[in-house]
Structure 1
């Protein structure tokens, strides 16, 4: 019983505070690999000691202390790290004597500090976001690859190269000053958005949702908004997350099965989150140079305001997607626009647009492209083509609830 209780305690602490533990270790030792390895060693030590000694009053503090000791022992044993240990002590002494710049508030969370560190300009945008998803959000490498729509092996190499770059360039693990924040912000916003996306529709597994990731993304977006209240795109991102997350309770039934937008009980949508998102949307859309998150938030708001699919303002949604395409001309935006055009002008118009995206490299392996085609072909009565498209989507889909939805649609094609 003690072993099972200890194992549950370790699992709970590590699940809830993994990213914070890694952030603290990375900030202390300046090495993501060392942070990850010693965090794992601390967990192994907890599984051995806690059944004997009992679960400590402050489990995270115990794990942090243990991991730090293991990191220092490892550095001392390795001659290659001897110089680094001396530099760490020197940097620690200097940091203690530094007086904060007037008017600059420290970032109020260790994990957010690491968000900005991973988004250092010396790293490519893809590497920045990959590191944030891997080390801050706790996604596995296959899940990060899914978020980027690239093969797992490609993403694994990208993460390794990024960590090597941090070591070789001696990129500091610190909070950026106020003059650096604007340049780092777009990458941080994108990383938070991708964390939410994985929580909104999991790339793999038995569940459609990963509420822990969605809630973590919302929490981080709130911190960013408190830190940078004048940044309109921060408000736009937070509005988008709230307006989208407001539908969470209606997106699955009691058995965990997916409920599509047209079938959702809209009375289950969180009215408080919708209202908060709408309030944030006003400053996000006010003024020149509207950003992509504010535009997406405006689209989400139109969905949230509609009583049902038929009364949704599809013409306005298409117009907003036109604006979004002008800001971010990605195939994924074009796919979403094509679906909106199908709702406004009919399935034939939408299908023509989707077929034009068939060769897009970024959508290769993305199951929602053949799934969207299948739905439009079904509406047009082109049953054989729809069945082939559903099978193509089934070959690519990751999580089980979405697989079950596609399977049900495919089965229904064979019924009178």
Structure 2
């Protein structure tokens, strides 16, 4: 397919998303199934156009004065890819399979349009209804933080220290040109190509042998900050597919005991195979069984309880750009209610002198600091560990992390702009002995 034909396909996919209210991944997959002639390179390039457009939907629409899929793609070409009028006109020239030629209005918008006087939520490419919440967290930096959230995310890998060293894994993947992480000693980072295409890491021998896992550096850092010590008892209360569970096991050198639980048994399904591939031996999966209290025997006995709480995922907008436009106020209210209930449950498992670590991939205070303040007001036995002190679990790298991140009394917030990671909030609470 020609670059122009790829643009036409992206416009078609975006139109289908609106018409049938499809998530972006589903819409792209459905298009590929009905257009078998498109090769893997074509599909990746088309997906890159779609994702780039969604990342900068607000600013592209403001530039072009329209939210129609065609206008959004044309605006993205200028805002994201830096193409000028002549270059965009050469792609949209009406030739076979290309978008129709630019109208006079479109040409004027591309040539003279500006975002200089646009409101913050347009320049930062985030929903208007979230402006007050984001400004509360970031103040005058809210636009810059939003712009960083609208960039492409790299592909981060975690080296499984149970099976490989960083140097060995880097050598095994040298053809992908991985670089080191900024803060985590276990991170390998692969930058995507110019069209946003990621290499098929899951087919690499190093992945198949369990030497590396796909995991954002921010997620890796959250597990480090939790400081799981070898030989201790750990409860991963919202384990999901087990990304942090596996890292905890490696950091504990396969000693002690980790109990991996999730209220939704379907989310636990991939964990069993991942445990085997990673060579993990100290994880016991506890699946929910209706109303049966499967964690009852753990009450008051855990050295560490990790709550990787379900959240709105505002910190992952680089990877899930359609999610920010699909998100509604009701979703935030639902998530904060769930988080409050999970934390109320989690405190019961922490032994005297033990720690509760609360993690979200959200940037919103409603899901982060406010949840910790509420917990502390109801549970006098818990007190927050200073975030800069908690980060010292990483040694000297932790000092750098604490300087880069946004620090509050309640915890540490990582963002794409500040730390080059997805957005993650981490709070460490100590229970009195």
Normalised to the residue count of structure 2, the TM-score between the two structures is 0.27
Greater helix share, structure number: 1
Higher relative CO (Cα under 8 Å, sequence separation at least 6) belongs to: 2
Normalised to the residue count of structure 1, the TM-score between the two structures is 0.28
Greater strand share, structure number: 2
